[in-house]
Structure 1
Amino acid sequence: MPISGHDQLKADPAYQALTGLGAEFEIVEETVLGQRLPVFRQRHQSLIELLLDSQKHGDRIFMVDGERRLSYRQHFEQVKSVARYLAETHGIAKGDRVAIFADNSIEWDAAFWAAQSLGAIVVAMNGWWTAQEFEHAWQLTRPALLLGDSKRLARLASLKIDAPVVELDSEFARVYAQPSELPQTAIDEDDPALIMFTSGTTGRAKGALISHRTEVGFTHCNRFATAFGMAQWGMKLSDRPSGVTLGVAPFFHMSGLGGLMLQTRVMGDTVVLYKGRFEPEKLLGMIEQEKVSTFTALGGMGPRIINCPSADRYDLSSLTTLIFGGSPVPHSVQQGLRKVFPNAQATPAIGYGTTETGSVPVGFSGQGFIEHPSATGDMNVLHELEIRDENGTALPDGQDGLVWVRSAFNMLGYWNNPEASAEVLDQNRWLCTGDIGRIEQGLLYINSRARDMILRSAENIYPTEIENRLDAHPQVKESAVYGVDDDVHGQAVKAVVVISEPEAATEAELAEWVGEALAAYKVPAHWRLTDEALPRNATGKVLKDQLRAQDA
């Protein structure tokens, strides 16, 4: 049977007070794309309504980009100027696609909101792509305009771009100087707002089409989670001081666009952009200088921060919220980061979602996460979840299967790919995430990507379990486990292990370490020890295809 956030929370008095008749987060049922689904009665009807509402924050700093500090008021003026430029100079109108290929910046943000005000669809190009990867996404979506920074546009020199190309670095400074008014565009909640590409670790990137309802819902559900958490302590949202979020996730990913560009705006917070290659000392210095209160540790950041020898030289007392995201987090990493950021001891948080879910269906924080460190959380409000087998049959609690999610915020479908859309969205708008997981006592546990499962002599082996064990070894910085062909067993287990220094550990020592905690058939038969960091994508997930290619 499906589980839902409402069913899990409905007996809680704080939940009842927040969601009851006439309350700020009153829940009603409405028809969304043909399905009766729960939604908040009081909500922004489009991203533009959200933008306009955020003007109440006035001269509060919205974004810090290097030496530039931009207030909410200044940002709004920039958006209006860019919207006029897009419409008058390039003829951008409702339904047109506008591609952005750039690093996180004030310009990326201004371009996004300007396009939304015109009813255009932003195509969020992965800023790490090569020209070949970019070309696939370009041909798939056929944008009317390309906005990019100089570094990434130079990467496309070999391509013929069949649309106008604008360099954000130089052109927008001139555009900002031209004052304007915000366009008046009729926008429906379920109009498309964004094309965001899947991670690409499972093949050629697909473009998930995201609606205004989805993006707004992302922020409202997270805002409710904050209000609910505060209610447990007898506080209201109005008691919450404005915060400072360190922006490490790229805007072309949901955690960057939703968590930084949108969520900080709804909460009236400041986002400080971290730019360039990740360096622990640089990040810790920014937390100290900007008095950052919230930081999301993506992928391999955690182990590098923990192993940073100068971490104790920085004043990190401002950081009170530590969020984990991107992939399952070893318990040893969770504990290590809580030691580095002592004032976040009681408020670690984790969320689970995919590009296609649009929002964060599952998550929890605080004591619940501390007590269940290998879980990804319980159901968030307005979401349902079900575990099914490969034939679509619902599975009982405790049994692994495919994770299916339903809410009003699931993607509209894959852009120009109805076949792929039909594979993951059923007739009732349940979405198959492609992840393998199980429900235990109302909590979701994600084992690994379905494609990562190793089948050894008919035994299912989940790499995450082995990786967690390896990462707990004192000489291991991080690890990746995957299956390799084996003549006897079909597949065998291989581990690529990043150790602290050469000769710090041997294969035999690591095999014994794994064997002490896990069954013999889970101990890797093949090893590669290295001092080089594992390759990761923008969300922090390890690119195991690259590791496999290195084996060839």
Structure 2
Amino acid sequence: MPNAAPHFRSHVEHILDALRAHPDREALVYGDHRVTAGQLRALALRMARAMQAQGVERGQTVTLLSGNLPESVATRYAANLIGARVNHLYSRLACDVQAAIVRDVETRALVVDPRMTDRAAEITESVPVKSVLVLGPTETGEDLLALAAHQSEESFVSQAQPDDICAIRHTGGTTGHPKGICTTYRQVQAQRAARPLGNDAASTRRQLVATTIAHAAGMLTDAVLESGGAVVMLDDFEAGQVLGTIERERITHLWLLPPLLYQLLDHPRMDHTDTSTLRQVLYGGCQASPARLSDAVGRLGPVLTQGYGQNEAGLISILTPDDHARPERLRSAGRILDGVEVEIRDDAGNALPDGEHGEIVVRSAMVMQGYWKQPQLTAQVLQNGWLHTGDIGFRGSDSYLTVVDRLKDMIVVVGGHVYTTELEDLLNSHPQVRQSAVYGVRDEDRMERVHAAVLLVPGAETSADELRAYVRAERGSMYEPARITFPAELPLTDVGKPDKKELRRRAMAHA
């Protein structure tokens, strides 16, 4: 009689094993609430049984409408133990977009942050959900914590299978219906091996999470908890609060998108805050300015690490702290990871030689299964196992990858193409510019014009005409912006990237 296939151990089981190994260690910190590893593990196991008792089964969808709470982390682990897929809504999306997602992913249970019960009521008015479970006592739905309190915290064998969908993560779009990116349990196992956590003492890591755990911060939370470290959670990013938390909680690891890193560097408390405990400042998610990175290295020390990747593709390349010591590397997205195949292709799909610009195409075990319920779009993006990233870039002979722009952000003008990140880098190098965002706007003749939104350093006196002359002198008239605005701040998407859709909308409204 053949031997039974060995039990597939999901990433959640590995995390719970790590929590059980040292139950008294601090695992999660949220305000004055400090949760031990043993408490987090027990809560996740009790929640899994409570959701099962509510009828949640393997292959169904649990949707989270929640901010950064310890209970939200436990909910995700509980749902995945059952073998359910988790969809975590971005909290800043409009109600109608959230409702469309809740319907589209076939939500079986909506788990709600007590602070968001009014929004949950709005959503469920238009989209009936069988189970509405709240992370605490409220008048809306059932209290999941109370239900879990009556359940056992004995070990729970995961029902998940390798090719089941573990998570549906939506693109951070601010208009229309975001795309749902399907990640399997098998892909998460591959991602675990590529985590950019560094080689220092894992058990002493203290990760600060100041962006939504619905995005990259959630994956980093998993990695740190599995490695034996602790995670300090904030509701949102506010530079002064982040600096205070780094000093008070002796933070060693920090994840930020580049615009948030700039806010940290520009805060008046920056030079008066003890950041000496930081061992890694990981950044990514959008292009970074080499000038600002050089400033960050000078002020924070050799702690910066860049991770380039996508929800669709997983991690692709890493720019290490040693790389940051070399100015010529700061425009690069780092060296391509072992196990990740990258080709640069032209419009006809032909592979290009090193140094030539084209679309970055990736193949690895981390690549997504596809887009939820969008087979045609999946077929466009995933071809013969290769994922088309939509990024334009080139590869060096040393396997370092440089990302030049997003295909959709590249501006087609008379005479050629304007790569927005190249122009942003140039503007950011001006001594009176703090940050910029470049985007294309079509005029009445449907021709694209280059626009730039520029944040100036305090006390700056430069004008739009002076900046245009600076660009013209450095890069030529093709790159010269037709219009430059000076907003008080740049609008950001829910995950912290410059919101070019909103900037474009404002420009068109002005026109």
Alignment TM-score, normalising by the size of structure 2 = 0.90
Structure 1 residues 166 and 105, CA, compared in 2 at 3 Å: closer, same or farther?
Answer: same
In the alignment, which of 368, 384, 389 is matched to residue 433 of structure 1?
A: 389
In the alignment, which of 81, 89, 100 is matched to residue 46 of structure 2?
A: 81
CA distance, structure 1, for counterparts of residue 417 and residue 438 of structure 2: 14
What percent of counterpart residues are identical? 28
Alignment TM-score, normalising by the size of structure 1 = 0.84
1:117 shift after superposition: 0.9
Does structure 1 residue 360 correspond to structure 2 residue 315? yes
1:306 aligned residue: 265
Structure 1 residues 318 and 176, CA, compared in 2 at 3 Å: closer, same or farther?
Answer: farther
Q: How does 1:43-54 map to 2 (within 5 A)?
A: 45-54=9-18
1:550 shift after superposition: 0.8
Structure 1 residues 467 and 457, CA, compared in 2 at 3 Å: closer, same or farther?
Answer: same
1:129 shift after superposition: 1.2
CA distance, structure 2, for counterparts of residue 482 and residue 272 of structure 1: 35
The answer to whether the 8 A contact 1:219-1:258 is kept is no
In the alignment, which of 295, 320, 323 is matched to residue 336 of structure 1?
A: 295
Does structure 1 residue 270 correspond to structure 2 residue 236? no
Does structure 1 residue 544 correspond to structure 2 residue 495? no
Does structure 1 residue 135 correspond to structure 2 residue 99? yes
CA distance, structure 2, for counterparts of residue 538 and residue 489 of structure 1: 30
1:247 aligned residue: 209
CA distance, structure 2, for counterparts of residue 176 and residue 105 of structure 1: 16
CA distance, structure 2, for counterparts of residue 218 and residue 101 of structure 1: 25
Q: Runs in 1 of length 4+ with deviation above 6 angstroms?
A: none
The one-letter code matched in structure 2 to 1:251 is I
1:202 shift after superposition: 8.2
Q: How does 1:441-520 map to 2 (within 5 A)?
A: 441=397, 442-486=399-443, 490-501=447-458, 504-520=461-477
CA distance, structure 2, for counterparts of residue 438 and residue 127 of structure 1: 35
1:137 shift after superposition: 0.8
Does structure 1 residue 184 correspond to structure 2 residue 157? yes
The answer to whether the 8 A contact 2:414-2:478 is kept is no
Does structure 1 residue 214 correspond to structure 2 residue 187? yes
CA distance, structure 2, for counterparts of residue 514 and residue 305 of structure 1: 27
Kindly provide the CA deviation profile for residues 43-77 of structure 1, in whole angstroms up to 9, marking residues without a partner as x.
98412331343122332211111111112111110
CA distance, structure 2, for counterparts of residue 313 and residue 347 of structure 1: 19
Structure 1: 5+ residue stretches without partners:
1-42, 231-236
The answer to whether the 8 A contact 2:390-2:407 is kept is yes
1:325 aligned residue: 284
CA distance, structure 1, for counterparts of residue 288 and residue 241 of structure 2: 23
The one-letter code matched in structure 1 to 2:29 is V
Report the count of equivalent residues.
Answer: 489
The one-letter code matched in structure 2 to 1:402 is E
Single out whichever of 281-290 and 452-461 deviates more from structure 2.
Answer: 452-461
Structure 2: 5+ residue stretches without partners:
1-6, 138-142
CA distance, structure 2, for counterparts of residue 186 and residue 482 of structure 1: 47
CA distance, structure 2, for counterparts of residue 242 and residue 381 of structure 1: 27
In the alignment, which of 48, 57, 60 is matched to residue 22 of structure 2?
A: 57
Kindly provide the CA deviation profile for residues 331-386 of structure 1, in whole angstroms up to 9, marking residues without a partner as x.
12112222332xxx2231101111111x2121121222332001111111221111
2:250 aligned residue: 291
The answer to whether the 8 A contact 1:369-1:377 is kept is no
CA distance, structure 1, for counterparts of residue 348 and residue 104 of structure 2: 30
CA distance, structure 1, for counterparts of residue 83 and residue 392 of structure 2: 37
1:96 aligned residue: 60
Alignment partner of 2:64: what SS?
Answer: strand
The one-letter code matched in structure 1 to 2:224 is T
Alignment partner of 2:117: what SS?
Answer: helix
CA distance, structure 1, for counterparts of residue 203 and residue 306 of structure 2: 22
Does structure 1 residue 150 correspond to structure 2 residue 123? no
Alignment partner of 2:469: what SS?
Answer: helix
Kindly provide the CA deviation profile for residues 4-23 of structure 1, in whole angstroms up to 9, marking residues without a partner as x.
xxxxxxxxxxxxxxxxxxxx
Kindly provide the CA deviation profile for residues 103-129 of structure 1, in whole angstroms up to 9, marking residues without a partner as x.
011111010000011111111211211
